Amino acid sequence: MGAIGKMGFKLIGLAFAIPSGIAANKALHRAWEKSRGHEPPADSDRKSPDTDWLEAIVWAATSAAVTAAVQVAATHGAAATYRALTGQHPPAAKAAKAAS
């Protein structure tokens, strides 16, 4: 399995992560705009002393939580696809099992 298996799993992971991340980012921005009535604070806005600190913190926490959830979902989807295609656990899962 070795390097080819690892590379295959990484490619499958990218196939899940990129569209999932884009979709989650768009949905998060739409939800923020709909609930708050304006765009979320941009990176430069969050660092500005004129930006409401509570709004910046809420945006940072919300976007971090969504990002983490999407990463978990994409990793699980990639692992399930890898198992379906190869009949084996993904290389990363084997290393994690061996370590525990």
pLDDT at 98: 55
Q: Domains in the chain: how many in total?
A: 1
* Distance from C-alpha of 63 to C-alpha of 49, rounded to nearest angstrom: 21
Residue 67, domain member (yes or no): yes
Residue 70: is it exposed, middle or buried by C-beta count within 10 angstroms (0-12/13-18/19+)? buried
pLDDT tens digits, the chain, 100 residues: what are they? 578 888 888 899 899 999 999 999 999 999 999 999 988 887 766 567 777 888 888 998 999 999 999 999 999 999 999 999 999 888 865 555 555 5
pLDDT at 40: 87
pLDDT at 22: 95
Residue 33, domain member (yes or no): no
Cβ distance 87 to 73 under 8 Å? Answer: no
- Residue 82 belongs to what domain range? 51-87
